[in-house]
Amino acid sequence: MRRIFLLIHRPTPSPDFPLKGYASASRRFDVAARVAIAALYTAEGLRRDTTLYIYLADTGKTLTLNADTLGPMKPHEVEVLSLLRSMLADAPIMNLERILDEHIPAGFVKIYLTEKGGKLDTFLGALCRAPGVVVALGGKEDVPPELEKLLVRKGFDLVSLGPFSYLASHCVAFIHMVLDGC
Ligand SMILES: C[S@@+](CC[C@H](N)C(=O)[O-])C[C@H]1O[C@@H](n2cnc3c(N)ncnc32)[C@H](O)[C@@H]1O
């Protein structure tokens, strides 16, 4: 089982942003759509073992996506973005600490992806043996310090994927690839 928490530190887009020129109109919510595609699709179809939580730090709105939410939708950026947009209107407003407490089963290994973390290799054994893995990461911008502190307090290990700053969607695709290879 995998749980991915995309922690967005940007103004929450309006639920009626236009899809024309969506990158700027959505305040770069296209990043979230790409993370959703990387998190939930494979070449063979949808991942049934993964849930993605998109947490919008400024409003506390949280979008929860899994294979059932996406249904027959194709992994097209605009279609997925359109779904996210429709979810924004009545997204529940939640406290991140509560979400973590309620949605992370005991025994899951928790990692927070950040360039300043330890090397992934040193966590591989634990990740591969765990009954489930929780991954937290930032979106267009890094996770703000107050949420970083919360992640540390909740037992997340800081893990680096390399010396450069990668796109959030690439980080998610890479972590899936590593875990699939366990
Ligand atoms: C596009 S990056 C965020 C902004 C970026 N750090 C910058 O300098 O502009 C998106 C997120 O992916 C994760 N990430 C990016 N590169 C990483 C790396 N080398 N190791 C671990 N996580 C990484 C982090 O969680 C980061 O917040």
How many C-alpha atoms does 61 have within 13 Å on its Cβ side? 20
- From ligand 1's centre to the CA of 4, what distance in Å? 14
In short, whether 161's Cβ falls inside 6 Å of ligand 1 is yes
pLDDT score, position 48: 96
User: Domain containing 62 — which CATH number?
Assistant: 3.40.1280.10
For position 44, what pLDDT does the model report?
Answer: 92
What φ, ψ does residue 68 adopt, rounded to 5°? -70, -40
pLDDT tens, 100-147?
A: 999 999 999 999 999 999 999 999 999 999 999 999 999 999 999 999
Q: Quote the domain boundaries for residue 152.
A: 2-180
pTM exceeds 0.95: yes
The pLDDT tens digits for 12-54 are 899 999 999 989 988 899 999 999 999 999 999 999 999 999 9
- For the purposes of burial, counting CB atoms within 10 Å of the CB of 147, is it exposed (0-12), middle (13-18) or buried (19 or more)? buried
**Number of domains the chain is built from:** 1
The confidence score (pLDDT) of residue 10 equals: 84
Could you tell me the distance, in angstroms and rounded to a whole number, from the CA of residue 72 to the centre of ligand 1?
A: 30
For ligand 1, pick from 9, 115, 135, 141 the residue to mutate: most ligand atoms within 8 Å of CB: 115
Q: From the alpha carbon of 142, which atom of ligand 1 is closest?
A: 27
